[in-house]
Structure 1
């Protein structure tokens, strides 16, 4: 790497002895090992923080083939008791989900869960009484069952309607009756809300358990999308669902209130809005908070609705020339003041508002981003959060006084730390990894004192020492006026006097990050395998990616695929001038948004890139959903040039290099329509390319035996055939 042209060398990591070339013969990574999980780190089971200094874990007993919910002490890490074990339940062999009521005297146990979309499931649920050990069937094919705060009721959705079960009398109240597939949804979200606003449960209990606020989606005017399902039958079937594409009609969303005391339902009137991405009851039993957005998503209102007076008021408004992010950090304190995160000063930070929406103070400040809000210790008035203040490729866990004083780092300074706190914020389990450090799980107290290591993955650390793993070099380089984060992986036996082909990987979507100081994913091992075969692999986070402030992220507004592509092409040209890179053999690949990018790069950068792979790519933002696309592009009617000038379809005539398109025909997210329209454009321009379709696979192309192994074998062969051979 030409040091004279580097703006700054951040750091170069070495994985101990595993990078020392010795006489010991080290093994090469194989695709079979990667996709059999041979390099997977041992993980802790997902834990659920309980009242006091305890947490619970869902465990599976291999010997009895049963599942149990076990209670553990944070302080000792020892099991205190088994709360419920399926082997003791006469009518349920196992359960795969559980949730407690407020006082932890009852649980909801779920089994036979069936996935609907990315985040949504339906299943069979039971109510289990911890004291009496009684198990009561709640229902089949239900979604999102939730205890009321007084534990006397459960609300849930079924067949697009909302229900409340009165547990004391075991009576079911049907809150709505108009639910209908592909028409009306009550209490859960439609496809686009689930995918882009990242939630499914569209109802919430008030603190006094008398009210349930819920959303109603009228999809009647939303255009229906259909996908053929090949399946195993003689004739294919048809999967149809409502999918609003950019510029088209959304579902009409309304806010409604169910009152348990008189079993009434009424609609709550709000002023002009397009979306209701969040609803949440405050600490006051009659005050509901409601977040609304306009269609451009650049004007956000936080309402307080009073169920007693049936009135609402805006307590907070945020506007941005581009868009306002919706997050899950709204937290109400005992006095009904609230915590809120915003990037209104140019970086995402924590703010404290009083119960009327007046700003009390900005809790965190600086030219860095808060990436997670964990909570507040009510006894010490200390806020816990995660941020990138030690460099945008790192994550640290911090505490700070709610008044903004006394900031303290609680985790390792470099690498990626993520905390799981106890309810009372006295303890947290920190998951930490870096490019040199396998994931470790450690118990800390709220002061940041490490109590003990819970899992060290030492076996994996030793194991990878026997493989040809290359060092990953991190640095920044100034491209198009911005310091861009990059990493490079070179072959272990790298010879600076030789010429190597280069494969660039990226995702590049708004707010994303691929250049991060964390342990390997399966994709990283694949990149290492390619390096074993004599290929240099590099990654560049260009403009539009995240964790460098509002302006860096939102520069791509209305022009997705313009600045990001310019940066990847410029980065490739930079690498091509390095003496060890073969400028005639530079490839690029990506998935989803990354596939959109890799396709654009081989077309617009046909003088630089000789090969590209696009997996499940968007090829025109006209084909993608309203919420995501319009957030960054407005509508096609308002911004036709932004859509078309940066669409790969518009540049199909520029293809010169080798190009592989891969897609799953069952992709409900980025429809295979994108690939088919790209195919048509290439055919019309008499351009040769390679295409592979995975029948019925969704966006991740993983379902079915050997699917991922088959996919990465194909990708490997394409890379080697067109870059190495």
Structure 2
């Protein structure tokens, strides 16, 4: 009897040694599963080399290292912070002058909004090895093409620093907080057009073009900043909500030699956006992309900087909206490459310097997802696309004439490329739902792998211990016949005869994608943890999401939250009918647009969803910014029903299930006002719900132990209510 007991105990102990290791929120959100990457990877322009920012854990120092593309061997260390006490705080980012003989190094960065920050900048001469602190707490410094000057912005004004004399010239002087901004975008441009530097050097370094924002008439938004002070302070900034006044923008050209500026006449336009602005290869010709307020008409202008006359060289119109990209590329003769959805899918086009169409380079019922560059010598374009399915990404090369297309990536998943300056090689970034990101050197001729650079084998081995379930990709068809991309994570010990609760995740915003075959992020690891605890986790990309053509993406126009919510409810019904799903226990979660969606799903789909978690949600589209909201909804004055019918704040009376509402008080993007007014609406509807407020946290709700506390809170809510 004793012998039998010993054997049983031994077998049990062996089993426990090989059993699935459990994931924890603490481990996930302390970065334990973060893949190794090539930080600040920059391909050089003049030599066939690239640089990477490396960190030496032993000496706690950082290096900008130079590597050869052909061999991957390290050529040299351009700078090591341990040799420069001034850089004791490290290197936040760096940029080369055009001749690659000077470096501008940022440190002591202080974030402003999502992309913007101020920093101290050091000029490093790669020949003399001399490091000089040149600028303190400025924004967006940029070398002139000849490397003799550096443009920069500070306190809403634009300046020029002369490298030889160290003299600073003030370009503008009317900059004032919450009134006038020169050369830097306002809040809404930064967030929705995704750029901060609103100035550019001409090819001959003699002129600076810049956008001036007059936001004096834009309504202000204020939020309390609590910290640990006796009295909170108030942060006030200009934020145009849907239908409210935007900043008035104007375009200016400053002559560096004569120190004079002229205004470009854009008098033909009214209530417009300058969504992009950059000099062409002709030192006298400036390009600007002007959008009307509805964003359904875009003019590409070529402006003669000498006379100030503007000419429309290309016009894009769309029944819904025109997407703005960074793909405009000028070739040597000022002909240009452009991407457009005008045939229903995003493709590459070639125009001559007058705006006449020469060729549609790519064609097909699939989308170009990234434009990588043009090899002038071989007349070849490199790009990324979803030609092999909307959830994967592949790298291609194609002739400028649209012929000789070659697929360069070999593995199924998500591939991305950084091309070598001579276009002979590319560094491929590859990952899938089962493969952590790997970096390899590949031939740009045929895609053949030459060498491995970063393999993340240590992470792959570490993950094995957890014996994680597989993320299964499939196409879900709703009862209405809509075919939607989806994934599902089932518990590792899944038993088809049992009934499981389902926790759904989505984002659902226009043009977004959550169902993609790439490596797992922190949310995915959390979903894996929930699967370990007996939940099925599922995600469905409904109508309105991206990479399946313009019609699929833009069908939600003027009615954000109608078809997307319908699709999540319909998808939940399909999943609820699976034999192994308990249809009475389906929950849904989302952040930002996803929080808007999860709130709506719980209210409008009260008999389908048992619970929902909404983090930083838009609860009323009238509270959100002008550029984003009006792109899809027009103004509230024009489309009141579109705004009101699909805002969750107007559907609180339908709440039946369990609801957790979460927001940060310092969210400059989706204001905490959304949650406060939702709370009041729920209270007045006499509905019980849970909520959590994170003091001084922005839209990302992070810092210190914040994410750990937040995800433990959400985990506990799921366990108690699903």
- Class of the TM-score when normalised by the shorter of the 2 chains: over 0.9
- Equivalent in the alignment of 1:557: 557
Shift of 1:56: 1.3
- Equivalent in the alignment of 2:119: 123
Shift of 1:712: 0.5
- Equivalent in the alignment of 1:491: 491
C-alpha distance in structure 1 between counterparts of 2:123 and 2:467, whole Å: 52
Q: How far does the alpha carbon of each residue in 1:372-413 deviate from its partner, in whole angstroms, 9 at most, with x for none?
A: 000011111110000000000000000000100011111124
Q: For the Cα contact (< 8 Å) 1:298–1:320, is it kept in 2?
A: yes
Larger mean CA deviation between 394-403 and 408-417 belongs to 408-417
- Equivalent in the alignment of 2:709: 710
Shift of 1:423: 2.6
1:246 matches 2:239: no
C-alpha distance in structure 2 between counterparts of 1:22 and 1:451, whole Å: 42
Task: For 1:166-245, list aligned pairs within 5 A.
Answer: 166-245=162-241
C-alpha distance in structure 2 between counterparts of 1:493 and 1:170, whole Å: 68
Q: For the Cα contact (< 8 Å) 2:200–2:208, is it kept in 1?
A: yes
SS at 1:539's partner residue?
A: strand
SS at 2:579's partner residue?
A: coil
Larger mean CA deviation between 86-95 and 418-427 belongs to 86-95
Q: 1:603 to 1:173 in 2, by over 3 A?
A: same
- Equivalent in the alignment of 1:34: 28
- Equivalent in the alignment of 1:43: 37
- Equivalent in the alignment of 2:422: 424
Count of aligned positions: 702
The two structures have a TM-score, normalised by structure 2, of: 0.96
C-alpha distance in structure 1 between counterparts of 2:116 and 2:17, whole Å: 53
- Equivalent in the alignment of 1:289: 287
SS at 2:377's partner residue?
A: coil
C-alpha distance in structure 1 between counterparts of 2:136 and 2:157, whole Å: 14
- Equivalent in the alignment of 1:272: 269
Task: For 1:262-411, list aligned pairs within 5 A.
Answer: 262-270=258-266, 271-273=268-270, 274-411=272-409
Q: For the Cα contact (< 8 Å) 1:28–1:468, is it kept in 2?
A: no
Task: For 1:523-538, list aligned pairs within 5 A.
Answer: 523-538=523-538
Shift of 1:511: 0.3
The two structures have a TM-score, normalised by structure 1, of: 0.95
Shift of 1:166: 2.0
Shift of 1:264: 0.4
- Equivalent in the alignment of 1:10: none
Task: For 1:524-603, list aligned pairs within 5 A.
Answer: 524-603=524-603
SS at 2:711's partner residue?
A: helix
Q: For the Cα contact (< 8 Å) 1:500–1:534, is it kept in 2?
A: yes
Shift of 1:425: 2.2
- Equivalent in the alignment of 2:3: none
Shift of 1:23: 9.6
Q: For the Cα contact (< 8 Å) 2:38–2:52, is it kept in 1?
A: no
Partner residue of 1:84 out of 57, 79, 85: 79
Q: For the Cα contact (< 8 Å) 1:390–1:413, is it kept in 2?
A: no
Q: For the Cα contact (< 8 Å) 1:29–1:468, is it kept in 2?
A: no
Q: For the Cα contact (< 8 Å) 2:531–2:537, is it kept in 1?
A: yes
Partner residue of 2:437 out of 439, 450, 474: 439
Shift of 1:478: 2.1
Q: For the Cα contact (< 8 Å) 1:468–1:532, is it kept in 2?
A: no
C-alpha distance in structure 1 between counterparts of 2:40 and 2:579, whole Å: 48
Shift of 1:95: 3.2
SS at 1:300's partner residue?
A: strand
Q: How far does the alpha carbon of each residue in 1:661-685 deviate from its partner, in whole angstroms, 9 at most, with x for none?
A: 0111111100110001111111111
C-alpha distance in structure 1 between counterparts of 2:120 and 2:705, whole Å: 30
Q: For the Cα contact (< 8 Å) 2:295–2:631, is it kept in 1?
A: yes
Q: Which runs of 5+ in 2 are unaligned?
A: 1-14
SS at 1:36's partner residue?
A: coil
C-alpha distance in structure 2 between counterparts of 1:305 and 1:103, whole Å: 27
C-alpha distance in structure 1 between counterparts of 2:87 and 2:35, whole Å: 32
C-alpha distance in structure 1 between counterparts of 2:33 and 2:161, whole Å: 46
C-alpha distance in structure 2 between counterparts of 1:41 and 1:88, whole Å: 29
Shift of 1:91: 4.2
- Equivalent in the alignment of 1:159: 155
Larger mean CA deviation between 425-434 and 248-257 belongs to 425-434
Shift of 1:86: 3.0
C-alpha distance in structure 2 between counterparts of 1:389 and 1:341, whole Å: 16
- Equivalent in the alignment of 1:467: 466
SS at 1:318's partner residue?
A: strand
Q: For the Cα contact (< 8 Å) 1:620–1:648, is it kept in 2?
A: yes
Shift of 1:422: 2.0
C-alpha distance in structure 2 between counterparts of 1:464 and 1:245, whole Å: 45
C-alpha distance in structure 1 between counterparts of 2:274 and 2:132, whole Å: 34
Shift of 1:461: 1.6
Shift of 1:110: 1.6
Q: For the Cα contact (< 8 Å) 1:61–1:67, is it kept in 2?
A: yes
SS at 1:165's partner residue?
A: strand
Larger mean CA deviation between 276-285 and 475-484 belongs to 475-484
- Equivalent in the alignment of 1:477: 476
Q: For the Cα contact (< 8 Å) 2:395–2:417, is it kept in 1?
A: yes
Shift of 1:711: 0.5
Shift of 1:22: 12
Q: For the Cα contact (< 8 Å) 2:40–2:93, is it kept in 1?
A: no
C-alpha distance in structure 2 between counterparts of 1:355 and 1:506, whole Å: 43
SS at 2:29's partner residue?
A: helix
SS at 2:213's partner residue?
A: strand
Q: How far does the alpha carbon of each residue in 1:103-161 deviate from its partner, in whole angstroms, 9 at most, with x for none?
A: 11111122211111110111111222222233333221111111101111110001100
Q: For the Cα contact (< 8 Å) 2:38–2:53, is it kept in 1?
A: no
Q: Give the number of the structure with larger relative contact order, counting CA–CA contacts within 8 Å between residues 6 or more apart.
A: 1
C-alpha distance in structure 2 between counterparts of 1:362 and 1:423, whole Å: 25
C-alpha distance in structure 1 between counterparts of 2:47 and 2:433, whole Å: 35
1:55 matches 2:53: no
Shift of 1:36: 2.0
Compute the RMSD of aligned alpha carbons: 1.4
C-alpha distance in structure 1 between counterparts of 2:220 and 2:112, whole Å: 17
Partner residue of 1:73 out of 63, 68, 72: 68
Larger mean CA deviation between 333-342 and 469-478 belongs to 469-478
Larger mean CA deviation between 222-231 and 130-139 belongs to 130-139
Shift of 1:90: 5.7
C-alpha distance in structure 1 between counterparts of 2:56 and 2:523, whole Å: 31
Q: For the Cα contact (< 8 Å) 2:489–2:536, is it kept in 1?
A: yes
Q: For the Cα contact (< 8 Å) 1:417–1:431, is it kept in 2?
A: yes
- Equivalent in the alignment of 1:14: none
C-alpha distance in structure 2 between counterparts of 1:44 and 1:211, whole Å: 35
Larger mean CA deviation between 37-46 and 378-387 belongs to 37-46
